[in-house]
Amino acid sequence: MPQTSGRIAAGVDWGKLDKLVRGRVFLENDTDYPTAKQIFNTRFDDAKPTAVVRADTVDDVAAAVTFAAENDLVLSARAGGHSYVGASSATGAMIIDLRQLSGVKYRDGEAVVAPGMTLNAVYRELDRDGQTIPTGMCPMVGISGLTLGGGLGFESRRYGLTCDRLAAATMVLPDGTVTEASPTTRPDLFWAIRGGGPHLGIVTSLTYRTCPATPKDVVQLAFPGELAGQVIAGWLTWLGTAEPSEWACVSIDADGRGGLKCWMQLVCPAKEGIQAAVALMGATTKPLNVDYRSLNHMDTVMYLAGGSATQPRATFTCGSDVVTELSEDAIAAVIEAITEHSRAGGTGWVQINTLDGAVRDTLPEDSAFPWREHAALVEWGNYQPIPHEQAAAWIADAHRLIAPFSAGAYVNYLELGDPMERYYAHNYPRLDDVRRKVDPRNRIHTVLVS
């Protein structure tokens, strides 16, 4: 796979593109350029995209992609702007900003969603019809970016990944061709965009099979930090007996003084929370604190999002490992990694998400997302004020400690310069084959290497 080339955009007739689109083209000398290129992670505020093209219509997207092909430009889409590696504001790339493309049309169990929608906006729109799709928890993440990399959240055990609910998509390929991708039209592309999507073209419409939006019980349990290993092991035992409609994830936070805080978020159908929490406590240990709420679906979404539909921009450095089995030694490696970080003054965290339940209803080779027979996704996270260099060094150490148990990583938690195989494992050759067919001239920006 290529990296963004240093193609110089000198001699490009940007005025021509500006006339072609209903939206707007922002170049480096425009006063609005710094805002137009801004994404969620402030770490990429110095990035210098060649241009940012605000697409106001789907035709604008096609015009911009065709223009990029004619002028030999590397391009990248920008939806929610939550890329971990700044891909949607990449230096040297022409950014196609999709945020003006919004709207959800629901009918008979299917929702057609525009690519510029945030998760919160999709939840809100579908909730009007008593519907939902399984997505993540952060309100301003883009539905496009999340779906194209997989999409893991509090209903994954019950309904699968976000990409598992995808029934069809419309996309503009790097040569400007508009195509459908579905199980019957371009099935190769449909296979590839479900997990490998950011590397293939610009998706302009996503059709999902929806599920009912139902009330929930939400229980947060805080445990003694020194028992974090026991909590992870107990959580695994609990997962073995819990209904697919019951979901919980484990978080361990470093306090920067050598100590840990361990807590768990449990979400399950209304009226089942107490029983599920008792089972979870029985499998783990006595919690220090329990916070129980019974909420309707939209209030659950808002609560898990931290109480707001927006989130301030932040500086962060994160990474991940997918573990095949969370053995005693693997759990010990997780605890050692986060404890070392805390001892060194770090205030980062580890979040462990299960990959069981409905995630396994799709076979590992039936979509580009490969992690269907694996125990868990371990995310290593660090927000300000820990400097990027310190955070990156810790994540590199954590990768080393967990390496004997790691099968790869999650593409939505992308890290710079990784080999593509790390994210796609056995599915990499097939994905690369599709990508070479649709993007032989490497027009779509990527930070991954082959």
Ligand X SMILES: Cc1cc2nc3c(=O)[nH]c(=O)nc-3n(C[C@H](O)[C@H](O)[C@H](O)COP(=O)(O)OP(=O)(O)OC[C@H]3O[C@@H](n4cnc5c(N)ncnc54)[C@H](O)[C@@H]3O)c2cc1C
Q: Min. distance of Cβ 412 from ligand X in angstroms?
A: 4
142 binds ligand X per the rule CB under 6 A: yes
Residue number, 83 or 317, with CB nearest to ligand X: 83
Residue 97, both tokens: 């900003």
Piece of 139-147, 245-253, 266-274, 397-405 that binds ligand X (CB under 6 A): 139-147
List, in order, residues 6 or more apart from 283 with CB less than 8 Å away: 234, 235, 237, 238
Count of positions on this chain that bind ligand X (CB under 6 A): 34
Residue number, 123 or 234, with CB nearest to ligand X: 123
Q: H or E segment at 250?
A: strand 247-254
Is-cis flag, bond preceding 49, omega within 30?
no
Using CB under 6 A, which of 64, 117, 152, 166 touches ligand X? 152
Strands 131-132 and 104-107 come out as unpaired
Residue number, 180 or 336, with CB nearest to ligand X: 180
Piece of 143-151, 222-230, 389-397, 434-442 that binds ligand X (CB under 6 A): 143-151
What is the distance between the alpha carbons of residues 445 and 34, in angstroms, rounded to a whole number?
20
Which residue is associated with the tokens 């919160």?
A: 120
- Binding to ligand X (CB under 6 A) within 89-128 occurs at 98, 115
Q: H or E segment at 192?
A: helix 187-196
Q: Which of 75, 304, 422 is nearest to 431 (CA)?
A: 422
* CB of 80 closer than 8 Å to CB of 142: yes
Residue number, 79 or 376, with CB nearest to ligand X: 79
82 binds ligand X per the rule CB under 6 A: yes
Residue number, 80 or 348, with CB nearest to ligand X: 80
Taking residues 198 to 237 in sequence order and writing x for each that binds ligand X by CB under 6 A, - otherwise, the string is: x---xx----------------------------------
Using CB under 6 A, which of 134, 149, 287, 381 touches ligand X? 149
Q: H or E segment at 76?
A: strand 75-78
What is the distance between the alpha carbons of residues 41 and 140, in angstroms, rounded to a whole number?
12
List, in order, residues 6 or more apart from 378 with CB less than 8 Å away: 320, 321, 322, 323, 334, 350, 351, 352, 402
Q: Which of 320, 333, 338 is nearest to 402 (CA)?
A: 333
Using CB under 6 A, which of 49, 151, 160, 273 touches ligand X? 151
Residue number, 63 or 148, with CB nearest to ligand X: 148
* CB of 63 closer than 8 Å to CB of 21: yes
357 binds ligand X per the rule CB under 6 A: no
40 binds ligand X per the rule CB under 6 A: yes
Angle subtended at Cα 137 by Cα 397 and Cα 272, rounded to the nearest 5 degrees: 110
List, in order, residues 6 or more apart from 10 with CB less than 8 Å away: none
* Burial of 91 per CB tally in 10 Å (0-12, 13-18, 19+): middle
145 binds ligand X per the rule CB under 6 A: yes
Piece of 1-9, 73-81, 263-271, 415-423 that binds ligand X (CB under 6 A): 73-81
52 binds ligand X per the rule CB under 6 A: no
Q: Min. distance of Cβ 149 from ligand X in angstroms?
A: 5
Taking residues 168 to 197 in sequence order and writing x for each that binds ligand X by CB under 6 A, - otherwise, the string is: -----------------------------x
Piece of 76-84, 262-270, 343-351, 383-391 that binds ligand X (CB under 6 A): 76-84
88 binds ligand X per the rule CB under 6 A: yes
137 binds ligand X per the rule CB under 6 A: yes
Residue number, 197 or 225, with CB nearest to ligand X: 197
Residue number, 181 or 326, with CB nearest to ligand X: 181
83 binds ligand X per the rule CB under 6 A: yes
What is the distance between the alpha carbons of residues 43 and 2, in angstroms, rounded to a whole number?
23
412 binds ligand X per the rule CB under 6 A: yes
Which residue is associated with the tokens 């240990």?
A: 285
Residue number, 141 or 395, with CB nearest to ligand X: 141
136 binds ligand X per the rule CB under 6 A: yes
- Binding to ligand X (CB under 6 A) within 319-338 occurs at none
Buried-exposed string 200-216: b where 16+ CB fall within 10 A, e elsewhere: bbbbbbbbbebbebeeb
Give the footprint of ligand X on this chain (CB under 6 A).
Answer: 39-40, 76-84, 87-88, 98, 115, 136-138, 141-142, 144-146, 148-153, 197-198, 202-203, 412
